C-alpha cells in the first residue's frame, strides 16, 4: 500500500482530568448562577476555578438537603455536553443529580437527565461525568442535587462543571 497513515498527535490528559473540550462556555462571562445556598468556606466560585480531579476545590451547600443551581445564560446556548465532578470523602450516601433545561428564560423546564451515584469513604469517593447532549436554544439550565436519597443529613457538593457548545 502506498497510502500514508492519517494521524493526529494530542497531548496527554492532565492528571485526574480529561482533555478540555474544544469549545466550552465561559460561565463567569456568559451566565448568572443562582444557588439555594453556599457555605462560607466552599463558595460557588470554586466550581469554575479550573481545579479538577480528586482533592480539587469544591462548592459545598450551607445547608443539608436538596440544593438547586440554575445557570441563566445571557443569550441562548446550544449545549452539546456537560462535564462535572463530585467528590465525597466523609459520608456513605447515594446522591441524585437531575438536569433540566429551559428555552423560555426559566418559565418552563423539562428534565433531560437524572443520575445516581454511590459514595463510600472506604471505596468510591469521586465521580466524573462527561455527558453528550443536544440542548439547542438553552436559556437556563437547572441542576438539582439531592445529596442523599436515604435522607442522611449531609450537604450537596460539586467540584467542577463545564458546558460544551
CA distance 8 to 96: 38
- pLDDT tops 90 at residue 165: yes
CA distance 91 to 62: 16
What is residue 84's predicted lDDT score, i.e. its pLDDT?
A: 97
Task: Write down the CATH superfamily of domain 27-154.
Answer: Galactose-binding domain-like (2.60.120.260)
Among 54, 55, 53, 32, CA closest to 44: 32
Q: What is the average pLDDT score of the chain?
A: 89
Q: Cell 446522591 identifies what position?
A: 95
Helix (H) or strand (E) holding 29: helix 27-30
For residue range 114-162, what is the model confidence (pLDDT) as tens digits?
999 999 999 899 999 999 999 999 999 999 999 998 888 899 999 999 9
What is residue 21's predicted lDDT score, i.e. its pLDDT?
A: 42
Bridge-partner residues for 95, per DSSP?
117
For residue 124, what is its C-alpha cell?
A: 468510591
- pLDDT tops 70 at residue 43: yes
What is residue 151's predicted lDDT score, i.e. its pLDDT?
A: 80
Among 140, 117, 138, CA closest to 128: 117
pTM of structure? 0.85
Give the start-to-end residue ranges of the domains of the chain. 27-154
For residue range 5-22, what is the model confidence (pLDDT) as tens digits?
544 555 555 455 555 545
Q: Backbone phi, then psi, for 121, in 5-degree steps? A: -55, -25
Instruction: Point out the least confidently predicted range of 20-29, 95-104, 123-132.
Output: 20-29
What is residue 155's predicted lDDT score, i.e. its pLDDT?
A: 95
Query: What is the distance, to the nearest Å, from the Cα of residue 20 to the centroid of all Cα atoms in its chain?
Result: 14
What is residue 17's predicted lDDT score, i.e. its pLDDT?
A: 54
Amino acid at each position: 500500500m502506498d497510502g500514508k497513515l492519517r494521524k493526529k498527535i494530542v497531548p496527554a490528559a492532565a492528571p485526574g482530568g480529561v482533555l478540555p473540550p474544544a469549545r466550552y462556555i465561559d460561565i463567569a462571562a456568559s451566565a448568572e448562577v443562582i444557588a439555594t445556598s453556599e457555605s462560607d468556606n466552599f463558595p460557588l466560585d470554586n466550581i469554575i476555578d479550573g481545579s479538577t480531579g480528586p482533592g480539587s476545590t469544591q462548592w459545598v451547600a450551607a445547608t443539608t438537603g436538596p440544593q438547586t443551581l440554575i445557570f441563566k445564560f445571557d443569550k441562548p446556548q446550544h449545549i452539546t455536553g456537560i462535564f462535572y465532578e463530585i467528590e465525597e470523602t466523609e459520608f456513605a450516601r447515594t446522591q441524585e443529580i437531575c438536569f433540566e433545561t429551559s428555552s423560555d428564560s426559566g418559565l418552563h423546564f423539562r428534565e433531560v437527565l437524572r443520575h445516581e451515584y454511590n459514595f463510600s469513604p472506604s471505596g468510591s469517593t469521586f465521580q466524573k461525568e462527561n455527558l453528550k447532549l443536544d440542548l439547542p436554544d438553552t436559556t437556563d439550565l437547572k441542576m438539582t442535587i439531592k445529596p442523599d436519597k436515604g435522607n442522611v443529613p449531609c450537604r450537596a457538593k460539586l467540584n467542577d462543571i463545564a458546558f460544551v457548545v
